[in-house]
Structure 1
Amino acid sequence: MISVLLAEDVQMVRGALETLLNLEPDIEVVASVATGGEIVPAVNKNRPDVAVLDIDLPGMDGLSAAMMIHESSPATRTLILTSLGRPGTLRRALNARVNGFILKDSPVNELADAIRGVAVGRRVIDTQLALAAWDGDECPLTPRELEVLRHAADGASATEIAEVLFLSVGTVRNYLTTASAKLDARNRIDAVRIARTSGWL
């Protein structure tokens, strides 16, 4: 029996997935959570074989949670569900060392097969997503530029970003200006939009 933790913020979707997965003869949902902050405690308590995580969750996104799971419960495999079939999103998932990555609108039997695959150590990636990532553009931003832009996307000012990252305000502004220039954006808001659309944030 493959034990599964399910993280999905939409209650109706979470309930439907839990019911459908529990109909599979070899899969049991042992925990079900609605927010990113609940994931790691639930994993540590239940030690599931596979954590099925929505990429967009309140509090903490699925990719950040996956990285924390790999630290706190290395035996638990991670499978990301997303409605965003963007090449940059898949690259971020691979960088987070997730074991599987499939689209939310996949048939439930494909989700069940993906769970079985990652449970035995295979990496399972939706074929369409893999091809899109192969053809997609590489992110032109450095990790630091992405980090600064991510804070800006959350609404932080240059001063607030500087405090969090232990940088000078001038350095933060330089990173934002450089990121905007690389993305051919009109301003930081446009840079955030472009980076999000590309799946880099």
Structure 2
Amino acid sequence: MIRLLIADDQALVRGALAALLGLESDVEVVAEVGRGDEVLAAVVRHRPDVAMLDVEMPGLDGISAAALVRAKVPECRVLMVTTFGRPGYLRRALQAGATGFVVKDTPAPQLADAVRRVASGLRVVDPTLAAESLASGESPLTERETDVLRAAAGGGTVAGIARELFLSEGTVRNHLSSAIGKTGASTRAEAARIAEENGWLL
């Protein structure tokens, strides 16, 4: 029997996944959580074989939660399941130690098969996403450019971003200009959108 933990901030999605996968004769859903910062404690408490984590959750994103699980409870394998099939998310999830990465609209039989394969130690990656990830490559942004662009994506002013990140306004403008150039955008809003679509801002 494969012990499964499901983490998703949408109760309806979480419940549907638990109901669907609970119908499988060899899968037992042992825990459900709705926040990323609840994942590690639940894994420690329930000792699942597989933790199925959403990427975007409050408290802590799923990729960061995956890294914690792999560091603290390495025998638990991680399968990322996301609505947003962004290439940057896939690359970062695999770097964090996830064994699998699939999108939420994966048919139930294939999702159950992904859980089984991950539990057995095999890597499972959505093939379309894998191809996109190879095509898009690594994020061209530095860590600081990413921070500035993430703050800009929320509609912050240069002054506001400077205060938030403890930088000078001139430094913020330089990072924004660099990020706009690297993404091929013409405005910071467009740069933020391109970076978001590629999964570079999480």
Shared topology, TM-score over 0.5? yes
Tell me if the contact between 2:148 and 2:161 (Cα under 8 Å) persists in the aligned partners: no
Alignment correspondent of 2:120: 120
Deviation at 1:170, TM superposition (A): 4.3
* Map of 2:35 onto structure 1: 35
Aligned length: 197
Partner of 1:200: 200
Contact kept? 1:158, 1:173, Cα under 8 Å: no
Q: Percent identity?
A: 52
Deviation for aligned residue 1:152: 4.1
CA distance in 2, matches of 1:97, 1:187: 35
1:78-125 CA distance string (max 9 Å, x none) = 111112223222222222221100010011111111111111111110
1:57-96 residue CA offsets vs partner (Å, 9 max, x unmatched):
1222211111111122111111111122232222222222
Structure 2 residue identity aligned to 1:82: T
- SS, match of residue 24 in structure 1: coil
Change (3 A) 1:35 1:169: same
5+ residue gaps in structure 1? none
1:60 aligns with 60
Are 2:187 and 1:160 equivalent residues in the alignment? no
Give the structure-2-normalised TM-score: 0.87
Contact 1:152 1:161 in 2 (8 A): no
Would the aligned equivalents of 1:4 and 1:30 in 2 still touch at CA under 8 Å?
yes
What secondary structure does 2:60 align onto? coil
TM-score (norm 1): 0.87
How much is the aligned-residue C-alpha RMSD, in angstroms?
2.0
Does the Cα contact within 8 Å between 2:161 and 2:172 map onto a contact in 1? no
Q: Tell me the distance in 2 between the aligned counterparts of 1:172 and 1:73.
A: 39
Compared CA separation, residues 150 and 97, structure 1 to 2 (3 A): farther
Runs of 4+ residues deviating >4 angstroms: 167-170
